[in-house]
Amino acid sequence: MCGIIGYAGSGNAGEIIYDGLLRLEYRGYDSAGIAVLSNGKTEIVKSAGRVEKLNTSAQLLGGNVGIGHTRWATHGKPDDKNAHPHRSGRITVVHNGEIENYAELKKQLAASGERFLSETDSEVIPCLINRFYGGNLLEAAIKCAKMLNGSYAFLAMCDGCEEIVAAKFRSPVIVGQGENCAYCSSDEPALAGKCPTLYILEDGDFAVITKSSVKIFDENMRPVNRAPVINSAGEQSLALCGYPHYMIKELWEAPAAVKNTLSAFAGVEAEARAAFAGADRVIFTGCGTAYHAALLGKRYFCELAGIPAEAEYAGELRYNGIQGGKKTVLVAVTQSGETADTVEAARLYKNSGAAVLAVTNCPHSAIARIATLTVPVCAGPEICVAATKSYSAQIAALAAMALSVSGGKRQIDTDCAPALISQTLQDIDIYALAEMCARARGVYFMGRGIDYAVALEGSLKLKEVSYIAGGGYPSGELKHGTLALIDGTTLSVFIICDGELAAKSMDAVEQTLSRGGMAAVLTTLPEVQRQFARRAEVISLPECNKYLSPLVSAAALQLLAYRVAVVLGRDPDKPRNLAKSVTVE
């Protein structure tokens, strides 16, 4: 979840690392810190809160080698003492991941005289390296790593030594060499424009980074060759380009993301179609927003391709007691490609013989390296923590895959999808509904079929960025419990875009209104608009094929969540307690 970055070169390490942390802040923003080697000694600045709090102090750090960290708190509250970097003796470390046996290690180290200054699991790492250090930082880091259980990506520095050692196990690390400098980081955006090629570390790899070289080793200190990959992250400005927030900027980038994703699918279409040949079990999985896209993938395969499919949260799929086999296809959906539960579910199914298709926005991620085939999501960098354009692009990829696997039995003009999203964002009037949401004690989203999957996503988006309690439900479940919550202080939002199921969802709207509840209806269907005109808040969406409607209704609900956050004075780009890439379980 956290973001780490290291630099060795001839530039000002403090400034370079600060800029990198700004580009990694979506990975966590509870606290941040920078350590720079200056005249043989390590200087550290760190603080609870956003990276920008380090701006002034980062400029004052002198030196050409340094590491930095932006934190999403797991162990220990977000405050100054728990902020990284952590230091012990001559050793300074930043860490992303979770050390599962940290309590045991901490107890052993404390018994032998070690003093701990934080509540974190990470602090055991510099303590161990410092104890093992005998003049070779790589050797000490390897000895430390052998004692750790869990996941880690850590960067270590030593006083008087102008190198950085990186270690990787179940958390991402990339390294790259520029002109008279070298870098290491959690993610590509921090290295955009810095180095033409990257090396993706594998589990058990260690890298030694200096101004003039990047060398990779295994746990026995033997050199390892990793094939370089093109640094696909474009030089990205953090400018908002006239938009007040990244969330709304990226919402408007959804049409291009969908268009690019549909175009890219042509390059893998034949392989994707072949992957399902002879399969007797198809599973879609993901976490959070990606799981909601997976639910739509299940619907698309069942209804468009005529192939029975299931969908399950990745964190639950791993523990249901059933594994795949050679006739199983697992479709793993993840924006970052590093989501821990999804990656581990994919690894489990791949090891059982199943084919794994990764639907991801990051072609060099962990999930892409595990997968049999990567189905590209071409959304580009997404800075806002709440997914918008990446979700739309995931839907497009899954719809294209289902249509291809159907063998031409179903024909849908997906080329019109980008225009439909643009039309929705241009024409929709969501302000009155946003005010209703902001005043409501709870907001419940409901739909049937593919509309139910979108209802879940609408509810999640509103909770993420506005902190309003609520939930997403199938419309038919309203009378099986949720109806007890309906009164004049709660709002029910119904998505009705499936003409075949519209009458049943309309019944649920009537049940809500008859009990004095506030209701809103988002629909592509003129008859539904007429039915509830002046009785509920009706949001008219562009008419379209029901299988394209999730792109339209999702855009409307994402815009709704954004407007509610603004009304309530929330920061939609960095919701409290959240991070974009969940790399811990």
What's the distance, CA 277 to chain centroid?
30
Backbone angles phi, psi at 344, to 5 degrees: -70, -35
SS3 label, residue 476: helix
Of 46, 249, 463, 580, which one is the catalytic site residue? 580
Of 2, 158, 378, 497, which one is the catalytic site residue? 2
Task: Kindly report whether the peptide bond that precedes residue 85 is cis, defined as omega within 30 degrees of 0.
Answer: yes
Give the integer Cα–Cα distance in Å for 347 and 552: 34
Give the integer Cα–Cα distance in Å for 249 and 234: 17
Contact between 202 and 189 (Cβ < 8 Å): no
DSSP 8-state assignment for residue 194: T
Give the integer Cα–Cα distance in Å for 452 and 436: 21
Active-site annotation holds for 580: yes
E strand or H helix at 262: helix 254-265
Residue pointed to by tokens 């875009």: 497
| Residues facing residue 184 across a β-bridge | 6, 175
Between CA 261 and CA 270, with CA 265 as vertex, the angle to 5 degrees is: 175
Structure tokens at 110: 């404390």
Angstrom CA distances, 196 to 66, 183, 254, 319, 444, stand at 21, 12, 27, 41, 48
> Other CB atoms closer than 10 Å to residue 241's CB: what's the count?
8
Give the integer Cα–Cα distance in Å for 41 and 158: 8
Angstrom CA distances, 218 to 132, 147, 169, 222, 225, stand at 18, 16, 12, 5, 10
Structure tokens at 394: 């995931």
| Residues facing residue 312 across a β-bridge | 285
Give the integer Cα–Cα distance in Å for 293 and 284: 9
Angstrom CA distances, 430 to 244, 462, 558, stand at 17, 14, 11
Contact between 214 and 177 (Cβ < 8 Å): yes
Give the integer Cα–Cα distance in Å for 399 and 392: 11
| Residues facing residue 330 across a β-bridge | 283, 356
Count CA atoms closer than 13 A to 13's CA, side-chain side: 34
Write the DSSP string, 399-465: HHHHHHHTTTSS---GGGHHHHHHHHHHH---HHHHHHHHH-SEEEEEESTHHHHHHHHHHHHHHHH
Catalytic residue positions? 2, 580
